[in-house]
Structure 1
């Protein structure tokens, strides 16, 4: 069952009309009819049971009831992704949102190949945001993730959250600590830096360490940047779901 994202104007009403492009999506893509039921979420992460109560030529009305199902406790993951070549960022955004990321911050690093023009930044960011929302509708996540405009890697400190542990994934074992060790206290927020195709420079690694980011080694196989992101998020989500079975005492 696909999930509906309630419009920004929704404020807890029991019945809510849908018009314009949102209605056209429901009518032409989802083929809604009276009595159809959906899972729904608002922009604050609240879940709802949604029933189509009526449909006419230019609008439909939704009957919305809040769902009190308790969410599993998982971390708030921010992906700091150095921009890859081509349209790989589209794939990364979709996959990390499906895997559980709640924030995506595209980064421009020294070895980033794409050089965005000022007049294309908003267009690309808007596309990534649409892709993120489509991923939420498909995967059933309980939130609409934030996708930011690209920033230089050295501005990453402006996007850190309180009580957030910082990780960066590296192709070499440059530290002997494990991911289990870093997550043994179950931090509520995790920031993950993923380098570009050419990897992070030594200077960038020193900068991240100064910000208390710690390195994580994923093994001997060299993964593509678009693979690392989804592997990182999915691995951390699984560790949290199985936390009681492995936590370090």
Structure 2
């Protein structure tokens, strides 16, 4: 098992050597204090992992001498989280933990009860930060697939243009328990979309719009959950159940 993991999007499965980028090289050599000969796995985020040993020809750039290449198949069920934009650092937590659990895509939306500014909602810097969090989570968890992370705009407009295939859930504390809905994944399509509201939940109007375009209300139990907890709970249940079926 590799001691360290790196992320490089442009990998060739037949490569004998990989030159790591400046950021990854600095992190390995200066922060982690990696040494020549240490084992490393290099992920491209699309299912390819190259493993090998480190060497530093000029002490400024890290290289990997490749000894093995592995290509992973994507899970049978692709999981997508759509979340009413929460405040504070909750987005970082959701991105990190959902990536560790193997989420396929993350969409953050401006819901009626979202307490964030337009500057945050449409900030390229914030989006790049969250994508970086996803890359780091892939490395930490050895997840070979990098999720797509996007800021998808206004929730009502997003629902108005809804045309995604698959199964669709919307979190609702007074509806059927999600464990009662899981068996339906066995006979449904290969994609599951899960809609979670911000702090305070979705409004009745938003819930009605979601139901009108095919979202089934589901509950994670009788207690009130933080947004981050709800995202982790629903993703974990769906992923584990789909793994049992496959």
Range into which the TM-score falls when normalised by the shorter chain:
0.7 to 0.9
CA contact (8 A) 1:5 1:40 kept: yes
Deviation at 1:118, TM superposition (A): 6.7
CA RMSD, aligned part only? 2.7
Partner SS state of residue 44, structure 1? coil
CA contact (8 A) 1:163 1:189 kept: yes
CA contact (8 A) 1:78 1:104 kept: yes
Deviation at 1:242, TM superposition (A): 2.0
Partner SS state of residue 223, structure 2? coil
Residue in structure 2 matched with residue 35 of structure 1 by the alignment: 37
The counterpart of 1:95, out of the listed 94, 97, 104, is: 97
| 1:46 is the counterpart of 2:80 | no
Deviation at 1:20, TM superposition (A): 2.2
Residue in structure 1 matched with residue 27 of structure 2 by the alignment: 25
Residue in structure 1 matched with residue 175 of structure 2 by the alignment: 173
Structure 2, unaligned runs of 5 or more: none
Give the whole-Å Cα distance in 2 for the aligned partners of 1:101 and 1:176. Answer: 18
Residue in structure 2 matched with residue 199 of structure 1 by the alignment: 201
TM-score, normalised via structure 2 length:
0.87
Once the two structures are superposed, what CA deviation does each residue of 1:43-65 show, in whole Å capped at 9, x if it has no partner?
Answer: 32212223214443211221235
CA contact (8 A) 1:19 1:58 kept: no
Deviation at 1:98, TM superposition (A): 1.1
Deviation larger for 222-231 or 119-128: 119-128
Deviation at 1:202, TM superposition (A): 1.6
Residue in structure 1 matched with residue 10 of structure 2 by the alignment: 9
The counterpart of 1:224, out of the listed 220, 223, 226, is: 226
Partner SS state of residue 210, structure 2? helix
TM-score, normalised via structure 1 length:
0.86
Deviation at 1:135, TM superposition (A): 0.8
CA contact (8 A) 1:34 1:55 kept: no
Partner SS state of residue 186, structure 2? coil
Structure 1, unaligned runs of 5 or more: 245-249
Partner SS state of residue 24, structure 1? helix
* Shift in CA distance, 68/10, structure 1 to aligned 2, threshold 3 Å: closer
* Matched pairs, number: 243
* Shift in CA distance, 158/69, structure 1 to aligned 2, threshold 3 Å: farther
Give the whole-Å Cα distance in 2 for the aligned partners of 1:161 and 1:43. Answer: 26
